Amino acid sequence: MIKGIISLVLNLLIILVFLHALGSWIPKVRDSKPYELVDKLISPMLEPIRKVLPPAGGFDFSPVILLFILYLIKHLLRL
């Protein structure tokens, strides 16, 4: 039961990170209300990563690092 809930939350976070990253490339999407909600949920998780690894050459690798961390958690918890 608990593993199922944790797995669901991690899967939702993974989807939201993908949506956040994809939406950040499209100006009309960035200005939408749904994207603002996704941004409010995901940005607090990206900020600590950006402090350690700031965007370089116009590329922000923090979503990739966050996805790696989320998948690592899933793997370590065997979900």
Q: CB of 50 within 8 A of CB of 62?
A: yes
Distance CA 66, CA 68 (A): 5
Q: What tokens were used for 54?
A: 């700031």
Spell out the domain ranges in the chain.
2-76
Q: Which pLDDT value is given to residue 58?
A: 86
pLDDT per residue as tens digits for the range 17-72: 999 999 999 999 999 999 999 999 999 999 999 999 999 988 999 999 999 999 99
Residue recorded with tokens 């009309």: 28
pLDDT per residue as tens digits for the range 9-28: 999 999 999 999 999 999 99
